[in-house]
Amino acid sequence: MEGEFISKYHKQLDVGANQCSSTLTKRIKAPIDIVWSLVRSFDQPQKYKPFVSECTLTEDFKVGTLREVNVRSGLPATTSTERLELLDDEEHIFSVRIMGGDHRLRNYSSKITAHPETIDGRPGTLLIESFIVDVPDGNTTEDTFYFVQSLINCNHNCLAEVSEKIALHNQNSEQTSLVDG
């Protein structure tokens, strides 16, 4: 299934000679509704992205809207201006493009899809994220892969942690309400 989803949703058609592109997956032990509600919060990426300190929208939350993201210190970046390209709550597709900011990732765009999956007999989620970006001057393709993939892996791990915490909390309150009758 994973391969099918990747070829259906994550085929990068035009990867230029000075660009790099890749697809990462993460299995999360939480139902898709919980994971999706975090992924789709274009206005609050700090709910799960550990490097984001603040985010403000320039207009109402809709496709085409820009957000100004402030990045925590310690990274080679301070701000990023990003546009919501696609939000499909039925098919669970979310795509963002970086328009500018104080950092080195030019022409970055990413797409996330989420797919329900049973993990250890419980409702879980398969998350797939692909990206494409220019290789910055003075860097190799390998450096760029490594840099971007590390950031995305951190985001995925935190997304899993937050989602799994909410799922566990929901399970516990369901049990309590069963007992309370």
Position among 30, 132, 135, 148 found at the interface with ligand A8S (CB under 6 A): 148
The single-letter DSSP state of residue 163 is H
- The two beta strands, 19-28 and 79-88, are unpaired
Residues 155-174 that bind ligand A8S (CB under 6 A): 155
Of residues 34 and 105, the one with the C-beta less far from ligand A8S: 105
C-alpha separations of 10 from 5, 14, 65, 115 in Å: 7, 12, 23, 13
Q: Are 46 and 54 in contact (CB under 8 A)?
A: yes
Of residues 124 and 131, the one with the C-beta less far from ligand A8S: 131
Rounded Cα distance, 148 and 126, in Å: 20
Strand, coil or helix: 87: strand
Sketch the per residue contact string, 88 through 127, with ligand A8S: x for CB under 6 A, - otherwise. Answer: ----------x----x-x----x-----------------
76 sits near ligand A8S (criterion: CB under 6 A): yes
Q: Are 97 and 109 in contact (CB under 8 A)?
A: yes
Position among 10, 38, 42, 80 found at the interface with ligand A8S (CB under 6 A): 80
151 sits near ligand A8S (criterion: CB under 6 A): yes
Smallest distance from ligand A8S to CB 181, Å:
44
Q: 132: closest CA among 165, 95, 90, 93?
A: 95
Q: How many residues sit in the footprint of ligand A8S (CB under 6 A)?
A: 15
**Residue 92 CB partners (closer than 8 Å, separation 6+):** 32, 36, 39, 113, 114, 115
Smallest distance from ligand A8S to CB 148, Å:
5
Amino acid at 19: Q
75 sits near ligand A8S (criterion: CB under 6 A): yes
71 sits near ligand A8S (criterion: CB under 6 A): yes
Q: Which residues bind ligand A8S (CB under 6 A)?
A: 49, 51, 71, 75-77, 80, 98, 103, 105, 110, 148, 151-152, 155
